[in-house]
Amino acid sequence: MMKQGNNKTLVLVGLLLGLVFSELDQTVVSTAMPTIIRDLHGLSLYGWVMGVYLLSITIFMPIIGKLADLYGRRPIYLGCMALFMAGSIVSGLADSMTMLLVGRGIQGIGAGGLMPLALIIIGDTYPLEQRAKIQSVIGPMMILPQLLGPTVGGYLVDHMTWHWIFLINIPIGLVAAGLVAFGIRESVAKEKRSIDWAGATTFALSMLSLLLAPVLIDVSGYSWSSPTIIGLLALSFALIALFIWIESKAKEPIIPLHLFKNRTIVVMSALVFVIMLGVMGGTAAFPFFAQNVMGLTPTASGYMLLSFMAGGVPASIVNGILITKVAYRNLFIFSFVFPIIGFILLSQINIDTSVMYVIVCCFLLGLGLGALFGGDNLIVQESVEKEHSGVALSTVQLFQSLGMTLGFSIFGSLLAKQIRTGVTGFADQFPPGAVDNIETGGIPKGLAPDLMVNVKTVFAESFQNIFTIAIGFAIVAFIICWFMKKEVLSENKETSSVASGTALDLSK
């Protein structure tokens, strides 16, 4: 049943506050990691701090989305916020790496629900045209934490203590949770709903096996051809097959298989997976090029992302306005020409590439991906009934997270291998031990001018190869756009929310 006296403004502010700070947490932690590792003597577990966090997010995202469909958005969202704050407390009070990893795992479970549930609640709150404009801003806004993270993390470490990078989440989380709790009045159907525990467990184990592979490659130095990695991937595929069988029999499946008969869900899942795997994976290491070949400072190389935002923000806003007036397939087809052009230009970079050249390339990438920021979640929500919107959105975001995790690892491993192979020919000219870490630690200082040019050329050629591969992924993404439905989003499901047993009325 619908309840009166709710407040849209409180809910929106609370949701955005929670989103920004859960995203900011990642970049702030990355900035403070050298200090944390030194204090806790945990160099051997360095990579696991982020690995455990990403594993928790990905594994629990669809499960949380399903729970929100079953038991209501408000209690599950507040539960996720509580988990995020609890994990922050454990991490902030950590006196060992083990305690820190436990805290990061708890944080990740909570964070896995904050983004999809925020979008679901907005979807239940606002009419379509308003929702399109709001969501067109949310996507680019998530880049803001990437820019603020180094500054905030550096300030807290320098002027306070690294423990506060976690503990500062507590007052902010309480404010965000309070706004959402007071803003939403929600009624949930009272009938008993069953939980697919067998499916949830099998799914969690399958994702753990799948995502442990890239994490172990990044953290422990395994290769993709290692028997351990092959074994984990084989186990994952076997568990996924078992999960599909369980879901076909379950009364309330964690991921209803009928979702994959929905053309929009399949197309959008494929699109975000390819983009995160190839497009974002291909550009993730670019600050490494900017610092070692172009000679920029870490801060300057990070802030080059502003040019990406300069293209992405206006493109996202324009697409958010047009998506209720123009067939979204046409918008995506037009937009995804720009990443192809951007990567073709990036594949030509060399040791003399200027900052302006890179800015133009990043601007073109942002211009193209703005369509995704402004429309993917909206399209997914409007393609299913309200009772399945939570798990549908979480499932598509699962593929996005999988693509990002695999992309960062695959492209990172490929780049490191090419750099290492490239410098092998003149390894005898390096200081002792320098070649072993050059693909991750950068170009050593004090090299002879001729050798420096040769090493920078190796770096440039390695990045050229990475961006050439990314062109292929950008073309695949462009082709996928042609499989979208040629329809204009319309207000066609707004009246069906009561049928799902969960109703929100946030009109002032």
Q: Is residue 505 part of a domain?
A: no
Average pLDDT over residues 302-308: 72
Condensed to tens digits (0 to 9), the pLDDT of residues 214-262 reads 777 766 677 778 888 899 899 989 999 998 999 888 887 888 888 888 8
Are 291 and 385 contained in the same domain? Answer: yes
Are 289 and 266 contained in the same domain? Answer: yes
Residue 302's pLDDT band, with cuts at 50, 70 and 90, is: low
Are 189 and 272 contained in the same domain? Answer: no
Residue 338's pLDDT band, with cuts at 50, 70 and 90, is: very high
Are 165 and 71 contained in the same domain? Answer: yes
Average pLDDT over residues 338-342: 93
Query: What pLDDT, on the 0 to 100 scale, is given for residue 334?
Result: 92
Are 161 and 228 contained in the same domain? Answer: no
Average pLDDT over residues 33-39: 73
Query: What pLDDT, on the 0 to 100 scale, is given for residue 147?
Result: 62
Q: Phi first, then psi: what are they for 187, rounded to 5°?
A: -115, 135
- SS3 of residue 503 by DSSP: strand
Q: Which amino acid is at 454?
A: N
Q: Is residue 12 part of a domain?
A: yes
CA distance 155 to 227: 44
CA distance 468 to 465: 5
Are 36 and 183 contained in the same domain? Answer: yes
Which residue segment(s) compose the domain that 120 sits in?
Answer: 1-195
Domain boundary among 251, 271, 290: 251
Are 341 and 351 contained in the same domain? Answer: yes
**pLDDT at position 164 over 90:** no
Q: Among 412, 307, 417, which Cα is nearest to 364's? A: 307
Whichever domain contains 24, its CATH number is 1.20.1250.20
Span of 62-71, 280-289, 459-468 with lowest mean pLDDT = 280-289
Domain boundary among 162, 178, 195: 195
**Domains contained in the chain, number:** 3
pTM of the model: 0.79
- Higher per-residue pLDDT: 493 or 56: 56
Span of 59-73, 124-138, 280-294, 462-476 with lowest mean pLDDT = 124-138
Are 237 and 316 contained in the same domain? Answer: no
Are 172 and 241 contained in the same domain? Answer: no
Q: Is residue 128 part of a domain?
A: yes
The two structure tokens encoding residue 284: 């993730």
Give the C-alpha distances (Å, rounded to integers) separating 291 from 92, 259, 408, 439, 456: 31, 44, 19, 13, 11
Give the C-alpha distances (Å, rounded to integers) separating 346 from 52, 247, 270, 354, 461: 32, 44, 24, 12, 11
Q: Is residue 506 part of a domain?
A: no
Condensed to tens digits (0 to 9), the pLDDT of residues 4-22 reads 455 677 778 888 887 777 7
Are 400 and 387 contained in the same domain? Answer: yes
Q: Is residue 507 part of a domain?
A: no
Residue 497's pLDDT band, with cuts at 50, 70 and 90, is: very low
Residue 63's pLDDT band, with cuts at 50, 70 and 90, is: confident
Average pLDDT over residues 434-450: 68
Condensed to tens digits (0 to 9), the pLDDT of residues 472-485 reads 999 999 999 999 88
Q: Among 215, 199, 216, which Cα is nearest to 57's? A: 215
Domain boundary among 225, 251, 277: 251
**pLDDT at position 378 over 60:** yes
Residue 385's pLDDT band, with cuts at 50, 70 and 90, is: confident
Q: Where are the beta strands (DSSP E) in 388-441?
A: none
Q: Is residue 508 part of a domain?
A: no
The two structure tokens encoding residue 198: 């067998």
Q: Is residue 191 part of a domain?
A: yes
**pLDDT at position 492 over 60:** no
Query: What pLDDT, on the 0 to 100 scale, is given for residue 504?
Result: 43
Are 288 and 421 contained in the same domain? Answer: yes
Q: Is residue 349 part of a domain?
A: yes
Mean pLDDT across the chain: 78
**pLDDT at position 502 over 50:** no
Are 3 and 104 contained in the same domain? Answer: yes
Query: What pLDDT, on the 0 to 100 scale, is given for residue 478?
Result: 94
Condensed to tens digits (0 to 9), the pLDDT of residues 181-191 reads 877 776 655 55
